Amino acid sequence: MTQQNPLLQPFHTAPFSLIKTEHFLPAIKKLIEETKLEIDAITNSSDSPSFENTVAALERTGKQLNRVTAIFFNLNSAETNEEIQKIAQKVSPLLSDFKNDLLLNEELFNRVKTVYQDRENLSLSTEETTLLDKQYKSFARNGANLPPDKKETLRKIDQDLSKLKLTFGENVLAETNKYELLITDEKDLSGLPEGAIEEAAATAREKGKEGWMFTLAYPSYIPFMTYADNRELREQLSLAFGSKGFHGDALDNQQNVLQIANLRHQRAKLLGYKSHAHFVLEERMAETPKKVQEFLQEMLKKAKPAAQKEFDELSDFANQLDGITKLQSWDGAYYTEKSKQQRFNLDDEKLKPFFELKNVIKGVFTVAEKLFGLSFEEVFDIDKYHPDVKTYRVTDADGELVAIFYADFHPRAGKRNGAWMTVYKQQEILDGVNERPHISIVCNFTKPTASKPSLLTFNEVTTLFHEFGHALHGMLANTTYSSLSGTNVYWDFVELPSQILENWCYEKETLELFAYHYKTGERIPMEYVEKIKESATFMEGIKTLRQLSFGMLDMAWHASDPSKIMDVKAFEKGAFALTKLYPDVPTTCMSTAFSHIFQGGYSAGYYSYKWAEVLDADAFSLFKEEGLFNSQVAGKFQRFILSQGGTEDPMNLYVKFRGRKPDPDALLKRAGLLS
């Protein structure tokens, strides 16, 4: 098996076409063993510990293992099946065990500790100091100083958590895939855009059904909730979406949520922290739960009055238009869109013909070229895991390779909802060679239909720019050590490059680069551009309140002892009390499908979206002052933010770029919540 297993051979780009599902488990097992031998070589060294023979040597271990697991876990998100999910259930505990073996290895920790204690005498660079600090803390924060019995407890908690998080995610995906709303009466399609109707007809055909099928996948769900005139069907779809993992059946996530929250708390206590949030935030810009809660409360104080006013206006609007006496959650998107159309005479459906996916891709590439001198060439000799995936060579102004870039744009049954960026190969400088990264973005955009290419909503345009911002952070990385490269930064800093890029979508200068009518080639009318800009802060109070509610729910789960929580729904209702606008729906629950915090890496970190918005609004204001494509400002952003990864404290990097700390009011001004 070893000889034939492509994952155990050296490879440049991921060898997708050669990989069979059965290759993963033996490859990961073998690579764990090989990495252990690399670690043994460090601990068995008779030389006294030094930065080079211990810290840098440890950084260089497990290269192939990291690459193979990156391939595996992205496939488990972007192109999964039952077989891959079963392997994930076996692989996760193996990796969790391996990580614990590493972090609870006393001889290894003692060597790192020796270097750490002597750090003042070593004349290390900033990046070397950061690496040493990060390594030492990763041991200390994961139990290296615990007595043996507590180390075993920690190991068991980590194993259980890795399995529970996987199960949580599998349940959410299964719930998403299971639900189907089949419409057979054409009048029930009233209000829906032509593209959404075509897409629904194609989905029904794929499933061997007559009629139009809507699902909980975003490109199907969002248009239905935004445009469908049939209120009862909107309610039906909304209740299905809001009750994922909350049916008391085999796919129910309530116990998983409680167990994950409790295990995280037990783990934090074991390591000497007051809560999981205290543990997590020690390694964030925000530093403490108190600071996060103060930040959320401060934002809430400023957003709540605006949100309440917007909600009251929306309620009046729905009442006058359709006699709705009580606005429900399934009415929000529908009447917001109607009100927006009336106020700005702006309809997403009017805009979509100007946002053909291939033109938007060209647009985002042009922005990257104008800002950072990058060129993107689509290539067809790079292996991919699905025919939908596009592959590009990215080069700089001198024609040197900057990165390999993968993009996967459309929904499929084996792909989870949402959009994300991932890395198949990290940038690093190894043996004097600057190894360039392999970066991927995965999205779920409206598919082409028989009569139309893929046309994006404006929201999808901003999503593409957002994920591409993350991709640039990965592509333009230029550090020595891979664990400090690209997006390996504090979690509340990682959204700055993605969120700042969204700003360009609202600018006339940018839209003129790519917003052409897919049939006529006509440039987007200037009045639309003005309206996009005007409507950017429409219902911003409600949107801000929604984001704050998610951050507050996250902190409620993770900033105190969850052991007394018996009822997930009742607890969630309490956490939402201060941000509530719509009546509560007893049969829905957000926590049971809140993948960001119970499966992904955002536990005690959801606030970071808003935190990074403060950074991005403040940073973008410099581009607004100096010029949208000002090469000096872009050069500073690349030099101090994009290329530096996690090599030093993010606030230091930000100050080097901006010349000062961020001004929180920049966000509130941009959002129209401060005059």
For the annotated catalytic residues, the residue numbers are: 467
Give CA separation, 485 vs 200, 425, 438, 476, 651, in Å.
42, 11, 12, 9, 17
State whether residue 574 is helix, strand or coil.
helix
Residue at 269: amino acid letter: K
Buried b (16+ CB within 10 A) or exposed e, 296-306: beebbebbbeb
Question: Taking phi first (over 0 means left), then psi (-120 to 50 degrees means alpha), and beta for anything else, what does residue 19 get?
Answer: beta
> Which H or E run includes 612?
helix 608-626
Buried b (16+ CB within 10 A) or exposed e, 244-253: bbbeeeebbb
For every residue of 395-442, DSSP letters joined together read: E-TTS-EEEEEEEE-S--TTS-SS-EEEEEE--EEETTEEEPPEEEEE
State whether residue 392 is helix, strand or coil.
strand
User: Tokens 């509610």 map to which residue?
Assistant: 549
State whether residue 607 is helix, strand or coil.
coil
**Residue 445: which of 402, 407, 476 has the closest Cα?**
407
Residues 6+ apart with CB under 8 A from 587: 239, 242, 243, 246
Q: Are 334 and 227 in contact (CB under 8 A)?
A: yes
Q: Are 608 and 495 in contact (CB under 8 A)?
A: yes
What distance in Å separates the CA atoms of residue 467 and residue 497, rounded to the nearest whole number?
A: 9
What distance in Å separates the CA atoms of residue 172 and residue 80, rounded to the nearest whole number?
A: 13
Decide the pairing of beta strands 212-214 and 375-378: unpaired
CA pseudo-torsion sign 599, 482, 495, 528: negative
Q: Which long-range contacts (CB under 8 A, 24 or more apart) does 634-637 make?
A: 634/371, 634/372, 637/371, 637/500
What distance in Å separates the CA atoms of residue 627 and residue 644, rounded to the nearest whole number?
A: 23
Q: Are 423 and 439 in contact (CB under 8 A)?
A: yes
State whether residue 182 is helix, strand or coil.
strand
